[in-house]
Structure 1
Amino acid sequence: MRLRRSRSADHAVIYQVSSLCLSYPDDGVLASIPLLDAALAEQPADAAVVALREFVEYLRTTDPTMLRQNYIETFDLSRKNTLYLTYWTAGDTRRRGAALGEVKQRYRDSGFLVDLRGELPDHLPIVLEFAARVDPAAGADLLGEFRPALELLRLSLTDRESPFSPVLQAVCATLPGAAPADRRAVMAMQGAPPPAESVGLEPFDPRLLPIAEAR
């Protein structure tokens, strides 16, 4: 008898759901919870889907004020958990301006107008939405190139026991190969981010970065 290989979740669905889950939990995001449930219900229960269901349940059952406070404390006040991917790869240096320009060029090359919604082009929710809805191939390439940043963010949120950790677990579960077990393994990857002294300093406000004019 021939066994059928189990079906994995649609990466476009994983990326679109993750994009919303990593966005600031305003009223619009919270109103989308039934849509997130419905999208995930149509997918096979692989590791990424199970992780996202866990986070959506957190969104559903947590007081909105607490949700927003936790989001700000996690992503806006700590460089260790920044969602700006080029910060992990280029640090707070002039090189980051060029890296941001390269991401913007990928968006232009897609032939679509990408709405950054006032964010820098490397903001992870924007990259995920690009991969989900605009250009899956180019989006997958971007996520692959930023894999060290994604894995470091995953490890950081896991160490913190953050409720946002399952979302990064879901995103990283879509990437090929085994996940690195620790920071040393991530740093051994090709194109690894800068040394520890360049990442992980607090406090952090992305609006104050020197390259913010590249927005």
Structure 2
Amino acid sequence: MKWGRRHGTELAQRRLVWQSASLLLAYPDAAARDMRLGTVEALYDRLPDERAEPLRATVAHLRRIPVSEAARHYVETFDLRRRTTLLLTYWTDGDTRNRGTAMLAFAQAYRAAGTTPPTGEAPDHLAVVLEFAATVDPDVGGSLLAAHRHAIDAVHTALTERESPYAAVLGAVAGSLPAASDQDVRRARELVLAGPPAEQVGLQPFTLTVPPRRGTAGQGGR
């Protein structure tokens, strides 16, 4: 995904959406929640209303509920349900040996852009990819997001069906990407129906979220 000068404003807005979504899709630990939400509010104030509104709605919801409730909902939504996992390679490879190679591709992309892959955080976690795209390399990061838009669309659909406050965030991310092709729509529909691959051939599911949980063990992708 390459951007010319005349698309600078569009790219700037996408980066604001990506950074906001990254912060909102991080585990809502008590120590950093208010700071993250304040940052998102400052970011979406620089966006046009149609792009800011989905982010604004999620921030408003998270501000209304206790941190403990937000954390419980996050775990139930993203860690305990296969159909709403934010681990992108889980959607393409499940718990198969191929997933190791797929995850390595994310780490290699980060290194090639001059940054160190996350330690203690899965490199394919959507929040990590969004932060990379927003703050390090929008071309490479945007391409990674676009290549996995079928997974992003599938999670968006599943969250919408569950009436989750996070559905708006996934919708904002999907809306920041190039228009879905017929193949993207078909693949997303198939994933919504079937969920991620479930074949078990030796790899343990990744359990870390962004940021790492303090004293809480996740159950990634189940």
Matches within 5 A, 1:25-174: 25-26=28-29, 27-46=31-50, 48-114=51-117, 116-174=118-176
Over 3 Å counting, the alpha-carbon distance change for 1:179 and 1:172 in structure 2 is farther
Question: Are residues 35 and 207 of structure 1, via their aligned partners in 2, closer, same or farther at CA, if it must alter by over 3 Å?
Answer: closer
Look up the match of 1:21: 24
Contact 1:20 1:29 survives alignment (8 Å): no
Is residue 84–residue 123 contact of structure 1 (8 Å, CA) maintained in 2? yes
CA distance in 1, matches of 2:159, 2:104: 28
| TM-score normalised by structure 1 residue count | 0.81
User: SS where residue 59 of structure 1 aligns?
Assistant: helix
1:144–1:207 distance in 2 versus 1, CA, 3 Å = same
Shift of 1:92: 1.5
Secondary structure class of the residue paired with 1:17? helix
Q: How does 1:136-215 map to 2 (within 5 A)?
A: 136-178=138-180, 185-187=185-187, 196=194, 198-199=196-197, 206-207=206-207
- AA aligned to 1:78 is R
Change in CA separation of 1:197 and 1:42 when aligned onto 2, cut-off 3 Å: closer
Do the aligned partners of 1:37 and 1:53 also contact (CA within 8 Å) in 2? yes
Instruction: String of CA shifts for 1:100-121, please: whole Å, max 9, x gaps.
Output: 011111111101224x251111
**TM-score with structure 2 setting the length:** 0.78
- Pairwise CA distance, 1:38: 1.6
Structure 1: stretches of 5+ with no match in the other structure: 1-6, 209-215
Identity of aligned pairs, percent?
Answer: 39
RMSD: 2.9
**Aligned equivalents of 1:50, 1:200: Cα separation in 2:** 35
- Size of the aligned set, in residue pairs, is 194
Letter in 2 for 1:29: R
For residues 148-189 of structure 1, give each alpha carbon's deviation from its aligned partner in whole angstroms, at most 9, with x where no partner exists.
111111111111111111000000000111588xx9934279
* Separation (CA, whole Å) in 2 of partners of 1:167 and 1:188: 17
- Would the aligned equivalents of 2:14 and 2:176 in 1 still touch at CA under 8 Å? yes
User: Displacement, 1:56?
Assistant: 0.7
Give the AA of the match of 1:129: E
Letter paired with 1:111 = G
Greater shift, 50-59 or 31-40, is seen at: 31-40
Q: CA deviation at 1:35?
A: 2.1
For 2:32, what is the secondary structure of its paired residue?
Answer: helix
Secondary structure of 2:207's aligned partner: helix
Task: Check the 8 A contact 1:21/1:167 in 2, yes or no.
Answer: yes
Structure 2 gap ranges (5+): 1-8, 209-222
